[in-house]
Amino acid sequence: MIDRQANHQPANLWGLRKPASLLIILAALLTLALGYANNHAVAAPDGRAMFLENESPANLVRTAEVFQEEVRAAGWSMLHVHNISGILSARGFTLHPALIFEPCSGRFTAQLIGRDETRYVTSMIPCRVAIYQTSDGRVIISRMNIVMFATMMEPAVAEVMLSANEEMEAIIAKTLARLK
C-alpha cells in the first residue's frame, strides 16, 4: 500500500509521486525526440558548396596553358601539375582528362608556415586548382570555396587564405577572359 501522507503529494496511477512521474515522462519524451531526430535527420548541405567551378570556353589543353601563363604573370609559382587521369590510365583505369595544378605564392605561404601558431595548415599548401573534362566534353576549372572554408579557420589564417583566394580568383577570371 502506498503512503499518501508521507510528503503530502498524492501518488498517481502507477503509485509514483509527482516529481518522479514528471521525470519519467520527461525521460520518455526525450527518448522519443532523440529517436525521431536520429531517424529523421536533416541532410547536410550539398558538398558541392565547398567547391567553385567555372566552365571554360576552350579545350582542356588551351585552358591549362592559359591558366599557367596567368599564374606566372601574377607572380605565383606553379609547383607541380598532376595528370591524374594519365597516372590512373597507366594503372588500367580509363578516365576523362583531369589535371591538378599546384600554384603557390611565397608571400602567402610564408605568412602561414612562418609561424608555429599557423603552421598546422601546411598540409593545405599549395593551393589546388583542377581543370578537367566531363563526359560530355565540357572543360571545368574547379577549386575549393575558400570563402566558405575560411569561416572555419582562426582569424590569422582566414585573413591570409582570403587574400590568396582573391588573387587566385583574379587569375582564374583573367584565364577565362583570355579564352573567350
For residue 172, what is the domain's CATH number? 3.30.310.70
Instruction: Identify the residue with better confidence: 137 or 3.
Output: 137
Predicted pLDDT at 29: 52
Mean pLDDT of 10-26: 53
Question: Residue 39 carries which side chain, given as an amino acid letter?
Answer: N
**What is the extent of the structural domain holding 16?**
7-42
Do both 64 and 150 map to the same domain? yes
Does residue 2 lie within any of the structural domains?
no
The DSSP secondary-structure symbol of 119 reads: G
Say if residue 103 is exposed, middle or buried (CB neighbours under 10 Å; 0-12, 13-18, 19+).
buried
Residues 137 and 121 in one domain: yes
Nearest C-alpha neighbor of 76 from the set 151, 169, 180: 169
Same-domain pairing of 57 and 114: yes
Whether 42 has a pLDDT exceeding 50, the answer reads no
Is 157 a member of any domain? Answer: yes
Q: What is the mean pLDDT of residues 108-118?
A: 96
| 112 domain residue, yes or no | yes
Using alpha carbons only, how large is the chain's radius of gyration in Å?
A: 29
Number of domains in the chain: 2
Same domain (yes/no): 35, 57: no
Q: In what order do the strands lie in the sheet with 139-144?
A: 51-56, 139-144, 129-133, 98-104, 77-83
User: Is the domain of 113 the same as that of 172?
Assistant: yes
What is the pLDDT averaged over residues 126-133? 97
Residue 96 lies in a domain: yes
**Its pTM surpasses 0.85:** no
- Give the confidence band of 24 by pLDDT, cuts at 50, 70, 90: low
Examine the domain organization and report whether 60 and 19 are in the same domain: no
Q: Looking at residue 46, what is its pLDDT?
A: 78
Q: Does the residue 54 lie in any domain?
A: yes
Lowest mean pLDDT among 8-12, 149-153, 175-179: 8-12
Banded pLDDT at 52 (limits 50, 70, 90): very high
Which pLDDT belongs to residue 27? 53
Report CA 159 to chain centroid distance, whole Å.
Answer: 17
Residues 143, 65 within the same domain: yes
> Is the pLDDT confidence value at 105 over 80?
yes
Reported as a single tens digit per residue, the pLDDT across 132-174 is 999 999 999 999 999 999 999 999 999 999 999 999 999 999 9
In a domain, 1, yes or no: no
Res 13: pLDDT: 52
9 pLDDT above the threshold of 60: no
Going by C-alpha positions, the residue among 174, 171, 172 that lies closest to residue 142 is 172
The answer on 57 and 133 residing in a single domain is yes
**86 shares a domain with 32:** no
Same-domain pairing of 37 and 52? no
**Do residue 24 and residue 104 come from a single domain?**
no
